[in-house]
Amino acid sequence: MMRLSATTLDGLPADVIRPAYDRASVRTGVVHLGIGAFHRAHQADVFDRALAGGDPRWGVRGVSLRSPGVRDQLATQGGLYSLVVRDGERVETRVVGAVAEVLVAPENPAAVVEALADPQTHLVTLTVTEKGYRLDPASGTLIESDPEVASDLASLVAPRTAPGFLAAGLAERHARGLGPLTVISCDNLPHNGARVKDAVLAIARRHDPALADWIEGGCAFPQTMIDRIVPATTPEDRRELAARLGVDDHGMVKTEPFTQWVIEDRFAGPRPDFEALGVQITSAVGPYEDAKLRLLNGAHSAMAYLGGLAGLRFVHQVIAEPVFAAFVERLWDEAASTL
């Protein structure tokens, strides 16, 4: 079976949404560190819609910090992949074209630094998990005993960590007289903007205090809250999609209709018209974070415990039980009073 690609787009079923822009004219204004399924189902979806809205600046250079898996999935597809949005029995399939390139950091760290230093780059987004920031959970300081952190503290010629790559890329921008960047953590951690800033500054200050001062004075590290459920893609998902589309897509991701992205109004330079794309720009992210933790995560955990005790396997089975649904409603009422 043929693979999804630019040459097979026209043959897809009529109900499949295709990139509504000229991909050849797209500029890569975003570098994303840690390109996995969540980024492709969330932030890349937003940037794809920005491109479709007529702003060609927001193509994405993805960076895999470990393995070449995503690069290998997308390379033969020209960066195209299917985003399958499932709402019960209703399924919407969109082909996303925002990802222009995927770099594999261990194979070519210099290319990642160069992408960060590219004058076209304005935003850096990250999904690297809490461990990726290399900060001690108790003290909040850089874990200098980590061998990869120690390597980045000794030299930024070939960075090995996400904060190290950011410090190296920003050092190049500073040396070349280019503008600062907005660095947007997309990991659901309290004060995520401050965490990535602390990690980057700790490495930068070790190499050049003037660089650290430039980063602190010019770059932006907004706090964010982000939400969308992105289940793991299974071989059966790929077979089902191939049967519907008539082409094989090794890079497909699946998700739910709901999506939320809340970003603190703190930017160092150009950005998409986020508001028009459904992204919430606010002066205070904390209340949104509290609402998610207490209403969504709290209820989800409660349903998992109840379902486990009741011998149920899935959350949707729990909420279908009237007694559990009533419990969740009461839990929400109680939690909402604290917001």
Examine the domain organization and report whether 271 and 294 are in the same domain.
Answer: no
- 4: in domain: no
Burial class (CB in 10 A: 0-12, 13-18, 19+), 2: exposed
pLDDT for 244: 96
Q: How far apart are CA 68 and CA 227, in angstroms?
A: 26
**Neighbouring C-alpha atoms within 13 Å toward the C-beta of 48:** 23
- 53: in domain: yes
Query: What tens digit of pLDDT does each residue of 168-216 get?
Result: 999 999 999 999 999 999 998 999 999 999 999 999 999 999 999 999 9
Q: Strand pairing of 280-282 and 90-96?
A: unpaired
Examine the domain organization and report whether 95 and 49 are in the same domain.
Answer: yes
**Token pair 């739910």 is at which residue?**
256
Examine the domain organization and report whether 94 and 156 are in the same domain.
Answer: yes
- 3: in domain: no
pLDDT for 46: 99
Examine the domain organization and report whether 308 and 265 are in the same domain.
Answer: no
pLDDT for 89: 86
Domain end position, chosen among 261, 284, 307: 284
Q: Which two structure tokens, joined as six digits, stand for 200?
A: 């980057």
- Please list, in sequence order, all residues whose beta carbon lies within 8 angstroms of the beta carbon of residue 293, skipping any fewer than 6 positions away: none
Examine the domain organization and report whether 97 and 63 are in the same domain.
Answer: yes
335 within 8 A of 294, measured Cβ to Cβ: yes
The pairs formed by 170-176 with CB atoms below 8 angstroms and a separation of 24 or more are 170/116, 170/200, 170/204, 170/211, 170/214, 170/215, 170/219, 171/204, 171/207, 171/208, 171/211, 172/113, 172/114, 172/116, 172/117, 173/116, 173/117, 174/211, 174/214, 174/215, 176/117
- 1: in domain: no
The structural domain count of the chain equals 2
Query: What tens digit of pLDDT does each residue of 5-53 get?
Result: 999 999 999 999 999 999 999 999 999 999 999 999 999 999 999 999 9
Query: What tens digit of pLDDT does each residue of 208-252 get?
Result: 999 999 999 999 999 999 999 999 999 999 999 999 999 999 999
Examine the domain organization and report whether 309 and 202 are in the same domain.
Answer: no
pTM of the model: 0.94
Examine the domain organization and report whether 181 and 61 are in the same domain.
Answer: yes
- 310: in domain: yes
- 35: in domain: yes
Domain end position, chosen among 267, 284, 301: 284
Examine the domain organization and report whether 327 and 178 are in the same domain.
Answer: no
Domain span at 186: 9-284
